[in-house]
Structure 1
Amino acid sequence: MYDFTADLIFHFLIMMMIPFIHKISSHQGDRWKTSAPLFSGLFLALFLTMTFPVEIAGGQFFDLKFIPVFVAYFYINPVAGFLTIFVLISFKGFFSPGDIWIALVNYTFISLLFFYASKFYKKCTFRQKLSIAVLFYLPITITRYVILLQKDIKEDAPYLLLFSAVSIVTLSMIIYLIEMNLLQEKMMQKLRDAEKINAISQLAASIAHEIRNPMTTVRGFLQMLKNEKNLTADQKSFIKVSLEELDRTNHIISDFLSLARPETPGASKVSLSGVLLEAADFMRPYGLMTKVEIRTSIFEGIFIMGNPNEMKQLFINVMKNSIEAMPDGGILEVKAFKRNIAAEIQIKDEGVGMSKEKLQMLGQPYYSTKTKGTGLGLMISFDIISRLKGKYLIESTQNKGTNFTISLPLYYSSEEVRLPPFENRSEGQRINES
């Protein structure tokens, strides 16, 4: 019993280095630099747990090789999962050549199961992730128990149950620690974004008006020159381009001022249905320019607390991005309905979609998927959603389109109970399904 307990502690400590390595590597920033150390740590854990398995009284050997495979699939990517299983089977062929075919069949099945499960795992809550881990591990425990019964060594059953309990606790702790690492990293990213926005706001407030004044003067003189009759066609074209660029610069300054402007006080009850319809009608002519049809399905009687001008700006920004993502035309669907005492708005396009890297960069200052964009539109939109105490979910598939879902708390009286929107999602979530 002493040796069995010591082996359990040893294997527990082996596996605990996985979240520790994840914590260190998560600060690297670069995707490869983040995955490579964790991948190496999984290989080391796999090698140690298979080299020094836990032995119970009846001569049965067990290890925790399931855990590195689980982490590789669900916290790195399926390719890392396939490689981990390949290494596992190679180790199995070296340590127990007679069992290699059983391991090959078992882990081929597990590999396919994990591959499909990994597609929705990241969308799950922490409790759901723990349930998935336990659900996947239970068949392994049951199979081991059946093998003990077939070999008529029932006296080892308590050891097996204890080992399985420790395995599940270890896996749960690893998931918890990794999830806490990811949550902390998200919070740090939010702090960095807040610092960027604060710096931009201060810059905007201090110089925007000083820039706009001389620009107004320049634009006035250009307008006067444009009306001169003795100008050549080229000169008129140059003046036209100059005026367009001045207008674009003025639009960028307006975006800066939107960031610098303090929160609008005195939020009131606003008809979300009405504001969303106004925004859709406002964007229809813009959509027709690129053969984009805007279809609306908006429930009536949806009210929230907020500022109607900010809400309209939010919806126009998102619709404008969706329309510009369909240069060859398409359908833009705008839906709004109630879900669990929350208002849910879905804006779905049939555009070019985005890669995972582009999706994660959305809303960052100076980043835009458009050649002449500044990235301020979506940054302002995310800021408005935050001020409205809402949440958002962006799902995108390359060459298929993007679905932008916004959830805002409904207007409610003091006697009513408010449920949080997107109860099972983080404040801002982006999912790439390419």
Structure 2
Amino acid sequence: MLSFRSIPLDNNHTHLTRHAERLISLGEMSAGLVHEFKNPITSLRGFIELIRAGVAYEEEYYQVIGDELNRMERLTHELLSFAKPQHQDWELMTINSICQDMAILFRQQLLTHKIHLNVDLTDNLHFLGNRCQIKQVFINLIKNAIEAIEEEGSIYITGIHDTRELHVTIKDTGPGIPHIQLSNIMEAFFTTKQSGTGLGLNMSKKIVEDHHGKLIATSKLNEGTMFTLSLPYPDIQTLGQIS
């Protein structure tokens, strides 16, 4: 008969265990980083082609290119430093400004696929967080909506807040997700797309949870899919710091 008993780990064993955990996490982060780089690289290539073609909005495109390069640099820095963003890295910002960035970033894709973006937000939807990461959540959700619609449709972004939380919904008019798949779509490496990695929604969920929020998906076949993002709404004292 075999018997087992708990053996306290010495400092060296504890160090090795933590090191192993960090290596596992590093692998997950590296895979996620490769996935997240695909979005801005595709956008940058498109903007460069538009600039070469001499289209309008050239100055806007230069600004977006700079922003995307900065975001890629920050994502790389987070991997190399191997640390979650701490509260001192957070800033007070608005969902409104992020949605303005999204309208510019996805303008060409929306035109190409004949998709209309409708944004209806309450003024000044403030929150505390890491702008780079929350922006990545919106990029993932809007990209998924475009891919779901494929051609001719609409994406609706709405946002409100109460005294405790802000709530943003991103709804598409795509075919919807079967109920049997809906509960798995935010699991790592689960994807219904041939070219998908199954990491975008999983990382988005983790980012939102790191911000003490929730990301929930609902869907109806032949009607579309809706993601609801909830984040803590800053208290009056925090909002009072805004000049």
Instruction: Please give the range of the TM-score, normalised by the shorter of the 2 chains.
Output: 0.5 to 0.7
1:312 aligns with 2:135: yes
Match of 1:201 among 11, 18, 25: 25
Match of 1:379 among 202, 218, 222: 202
Match of 1:402 in 2: 225
Q: Could you say if the C-alpha distance between residues 306 and 300 of structure 1 is closer, same or farther in structure 2, counting changes exceeding 3 Å?
A: same
Match of 2:103 in 1: 280
Distance (whole Å) between structure 1 residues aligned to residue 238 and residue 92 of structure 2: 16
The structure in which a higher percent of residues are strand is: 2
1:262 aligns with 2:86: no
Match of 2:146 in 1: 323
Distance (whole Å) between structure 2 residues aligned to residue 285 and residue 376 of structure 1: 24
1:301 aligns with 2:124: yes
Distance (whole Å) between structure 1 residues aligned to residue 217 and residue 202 of structure 2: 14
Partner amino acid, structure 2, of 1:202: L
Aligned length: 177
Match of 2:176 in 1: 353
> Shift in Å at residue 368 of structure 1?
1.1
Match of 2:211 in 1: 388
Distance (whole Å) between structure 1 residues aligned to residue 182 and residue 188 of structure 2: 14
CA contact under 8 A between 2:162 and 2:233: conserved in structure 1? Answer: no
Three-state SS of the structure 2 residue aligned to 1:393 is strand
Distance (whole Å) between structure 2 residues aligned to residue 208 and residue 275 of structure 1: 22
Which string of whole-angstrom CA distances, capped at 9 and with x for unpartnered residues, describes residues 211-246 of structure 1?
9xxxxxxxxxxxxxxxxxxxxxxxxxxxxxxxxxxx
Partner amino acid, structure 2, of 1:348: K
Distance (whole Å) between structure 1 residues aligned to residue 149 and residue 233 of structure 2: 32
Which string of whole-angstrom CA distances, capped at 9 and with x for unpartnered residues, describes residues 313-365 of structure 1?
11111011011000132010011111343111010100011011211111222
> Shift in Å at residue 369 of structure 1?
2.0
1:370 aligns with 2:197: no
CA RMSD, Structure 1 to Structure 2 (Å)? 3.2
Which string of whole-angstrom CA distances, capped at 9 and with x for unpartnered residues, describes residues 360-401 of structure 1?
111222211211000111111001110111112211011210
Query: Which protein is bigger by CA-based radius of gyration?
Result: 1
Match of 2:3 in 1: none
CA contact under 8 A between 2:163 and 2:233: conserved in structure 1? Answer: no
Where do 5+ consecutive residues of structure 1 fail to align? 1-196, 212-250, 417-434
Q: Could you say if the C-alpha distance between residues 309 and 402 of structure 1 is closer, same or farther in structure 2, counting changes exceeding 3 Å?
A: same
Higher relative contact order (CA 8 A, sep 6+): 2
Q: Could you say if the C-alpha distance between residues 357 and 200 of structure 1 is closer, same or farther in structure 2, counting changes exceeding 3 Å?
A: farther
> Shift in Å at residue 258 of structure 1?
6.2
Q: Could you say if the C-alpha distance between residues 313 and 302 of structure 1 is closer, same or farther in structure 2, counting changes exceeding 3 Å?
A: same
Q: Could you say if the C-alpha distance between residues 335 and 259 of structure 1 is closer, same or farther in structure 2, counting changes exceeding 3 Å?
A: farther
> Shift in Å at residue 274 of structure 1?
0.9
The structure in which a higher percent of residues are helix is: 1
> Shift in Å at residue 202 of structure 1?
2.7
> Shift in Å at residue 298 of structure 1?
1.6
Distance (whole Å) between structure 2 residues aligned to residue 295 and residue 348 of structure 1: 10
Distance (whole Å) between structure 2 residues aligned to residue 389 and residue 308 of structure 1: 15
Where do 5+ consecutive residues of structure 2 fail to align? 1-20, 35-71
Partner amino acid, structure 1, of 2:207: I
CA contact under 8 A between 1:201 and 1:259: conserved in structure 2? Answer: no
